[in-house]
Structure 1
Amino acid sequence: MRAGRLDTHGAFQSPTEGQDARGGRTITGWTTHVSAWVGVRPLAARERLAAGQLQPTVDYELDARYVSTVTTKMRFLADDGRAFALRGIQPFAHEGRMLLQAEAMS
């Protein structure tokens, strides 16, 4: 892995959960799990139907150094404010890296 490709700094974060007024679970905040440099590459843009409205989504691939404790329940928050929901993880532990499939969060 070449360090030049890892040009976006930020943090992998875990959700902090609480209860809403109806007793259901909801995300109330995010806790930093580990800081990291990643490479961010857009893959595709599309629209999806949510709550009766079309909403644009953008898929990304994140290239990062391997961290065994990163899960798809986490997000990556870049220092520039962009947030990415992790949807899939392809570990390449023998190479010391991982590829993550992610979706832009609004």
Structure 2
Amino acid sequence: MPKLRTTNPDVTYSLTLAALQASADVYQLYFGAGEGAVDPETGAFKIPAKPQAQTRALLLVLVDGGQMLPIYFPHVSLLGSDAISFDPDNLLEFPLKATILAGSDGSLGDIDAFAAVAA
């Protein structure tokens, strides 16, 4: 009789977000720049030659009619994932890949129960 094995492969969860605001905060996430990327004298944003993913917390609130579902990830690695979208009829879009990281307790985040949307 053949032996059966169960494997538990490593899984990486990620999602792509489209940042629609052209600001130093979005540039920092998209281009992978740390603190101090804005020149204090000129106000110019310095694009780094070697991007570093930025770690932030991420809260998603999914709304369906009169219900919402909050999903919280305390540790997310963010970095630009594709080309900036330049569409004259729409907004600029800075695509960011958010890779969900494990927290100090080993969990990825929290999903609360569906809740009613406040009127």
- RCO (CA 8 Å, sep 6+): is it higher in 1 or 2? 2
TM-score, length-normalised on structure 2? 0.33
